[in-house]
Structure 1
Amino acid sequence: MSAIWIKNVRIRLREIWPLFPAALYLLVFLVIVLVYLVVLSFSSGSGNTTLFPTLEPLKAVVSGHAFREALLNTSVFVMVGTPFELITGLFLALILYRTFFMRNFIRSFFLIPLAVPALVTAILIFILFDFPGGHINHLLLGRYGLPALIHDPLNWRGSKYLSLGLSMLGKVWRDMPISMLILLSGLNSIDSELFDAAKTMGAGFRQRFFDIILPLILPSCATVLLLRSIEMWKEFIFPFVLAGKYSLLGTLIESLYNDWGSSHEAAAVALILVLCIVTTAFIFLLMFDALKKRIYKG
């Protein structure tokens, strides 16, 4: 028995050994970054006056209004943006799953956001929603031959909700192809005979969606939610360009480090951000494991 087990282990190791160098590189890099982050977060001062360990950076961060505001903004950004990305990706995946004329071309068209750098996308949105002379304001004011919907231009970036909303829309548009492709691959893995049988038995689209599609693409949905929630937590470019003074945790780290020169406090915020990402991922995994057991048991 042990000989068979050893033989199976050798076979598996022979199959995956090409991945060892990359895995080792990533592991060592991750450990170095995390160790440095922890050391920087629990120390204060510089040079010969460095004090370690100390909770002063964490106390200073947690007691500050800027951190609490950024944590609240980021939490809302994640809770709204993550399901929004899932719904958008699922909607497009369901459309592209159907057979229609020029389907491959349309699929390629929806991949365009990935080809545009995030910074370029953010700047384009900045120009479109500029105040007071952005194109969207001109459109709403009726200056392009359409009826006027507002009397005064909107200061999109002067409002917390509007600026963070623009940041979220830009982020969702930029990352939409990734969610769409993951869910589309899940749809393609479903046996088409299941749909034919359901149609024969008179099941409508709603029944097919909730009884066949959704249970079978649950792993794909879990992957999208897990990956997109991580991206939402650590988002920087769109809120930095479009909602500068309404900080998320990512932009607060940059501000503490570059504007205030507080590297220890910036590291403390970064450490809290890592803990938020890990906690969210753990909660999602537990939720989907429980949901999967409930669906398959039912």
Structure 2
Amino acid sequence: MRKILIAFRKNSFLIYSLIPAFLYIGFFALIIGFYLLKLSLTKYAGGDVVLSSTLYNYIKIFDDPMFNKEFSDAFRRTLIFVIVVTPLQLVTGLITAMLINKSFAGRGIVRSILLLPLAIPTIVTTSVLLILFSKGGHMTSLLMGRYSFFPKIFDYEISFISNPYTSIGLSIFGKVWRDTPISMLILLSGLQQINEEQYEAARTMGATAVQNFFYITIPLLMPSISSVLILRSIEAWKEFIFPYILAPSYPILGVLIEKYYVQLMDPGTAAMVGIVLIVCILVTSYVLTYILNKINRYLIRA
């Protein structure tokens, strides 16, 4: 108890400064969580309440074959989206962070260019991809040889948006391109905390660049890597805009929520999908934290 009081006194300013943020976030999280749970336990038909305090929306995942297939497909696409997007953002963020962490002429310009995706609104990025890859778009025209500088590859028009693989692939590409600067900034802050003397000491002992990367950079960068993986996985689970525009026929969970809430006027089912999404985010965050802690302890011992 004495140690707790001493620690509290030492960090009292930090604790008091965080209290408003915790109250703000916690208050609205409770309100939204309560209302979401209430909606998920309500059956709607045509926008009107049919039955309250019921598990109907959860039961129909298993009892309604049509909804079961729609939900299962959306969940599978979302899981694939998360599994692909999260490590890709880590890799691209790490590569770009290591690039601009070095001193070279024009580093400020390169850093500004790499941050450019953040300055472009998401809807603009998505619209450009839609124009490029939709049927009759520039990419189809390019592959059909309509531009003199590129050879003809296909004799027919291709709609990348109408294909389940290419449409989700475009959504993944857009998401990674748009959010890589965020990962880059988090990892760059971690790289700048690593003392250059550790690399110099390792080089004097004959360590190669690869050994430095795996035995110095990665272990000391684990807090930043953990932040990137957890934050980016959360963002990937709740992604909406890219799949909504680029893969409208192949919805993920975020798009499925919009369909039931707006188009079908069924807030109960939409809220139930939202609850499932929250559970997936919590489980993923816990699993990632557990695995990353194990890896961190292994790297420290090594």
Same fold (TM over 0.5): yes
Answer yes or no: is the 8 Å Cα contact 2:44–2:267 preserved in 1.
no
**Counterpart selection for 1:153 from 157, 167, 170:** 157
Map 1:167-182; keep pairs closer than 5 Å.
Answer: 167-182=171-186
Deviates more, 1:218-227 or 1:142-151: 142-151
Deviates more, 1:276-285 or 1:15-24: 15-24
What whole-Å deviation, never above 9, does each CA across 1:7-54 have from its counterpart, x for those lacking one? 542453333323322321111100000011111111224899653421
Answer yes or no: is the 8 Å Cα contact 1:42–1:57 preserved in 2.
yes
What whole-Å deviation, never above 9, does each CA across 1:162-209 have from its counterpart, x for those lacking one? 000000100001101000111111111111112222223332221111
Answer yes or no: is the 8 Å Cα contact 2:135–2:159 preserved in 1.
yes
Task: Find the counterpart in structure 2 of residue 138 from structure 1.
Answer: 141
Task: Find the counterpart in structure 2 of residue 23 from structure 1.
Answer: 22
**TM-score using structure 2 length:** 0.92
For residues 186 and 45 of structure 1, what CA distance do their matches in structure 2 show? 49
Report SS of the residue matched to 1:217. helix
Task: Find the counterpart in structure 2 of residue 123 from structure 1.
Answer: 127
Cα distance, 1:5 vs structure 2? 5.0
**TM-score using structure 1 length:** 0.93
Answer yes or no: is the 8 Å Cα contact 1:60–1:265 preserved in 2.
no
Query: 2:186 aligned with 1:195, yes or no?
Result: no
Report SS of the residue matched to 1:40. helix
Report SS of the residue matched to 2:188. helix
Task: Find the counterpart in structure 1 of residue 39 from structure 2.
Answer: 40
Task: Find the counterpart in structure 1 of residue 84 from structure 2.
Answer: 80
**2:101 alignment partner AA:** Y
Task: Find the counterpart in structure 1 of residue 13 from structure 2.
Answer: 14
Cα distance, 1:229 vs structure 2? 0.3
Cα distance, 1:218 vs structure 2? 1.2
Unaligned residue ranges in structure 2 (runs of 5+): none
Distance 1:203 1:14, change over 3 A: closer
Answer yes or no: is the 8 Å Cα contact 2:215–2:299 preserved in 1.
no
Query: 2:107 aligned with 1:103, yes or no?
Result: yes
Answer yes or no: is the 8 Å Cα contact 2:42–2:49 preserved in 1.
no
Cα distance, 1:84 vs structure 2? 0.8
For residues 274 and 49 of structure 2, what CA distance do their matches in structure 1 show? 23
Structure 1: 4+ residue segments shifted above 4 A: 45-50
**2:74 alignment partner AA:** A
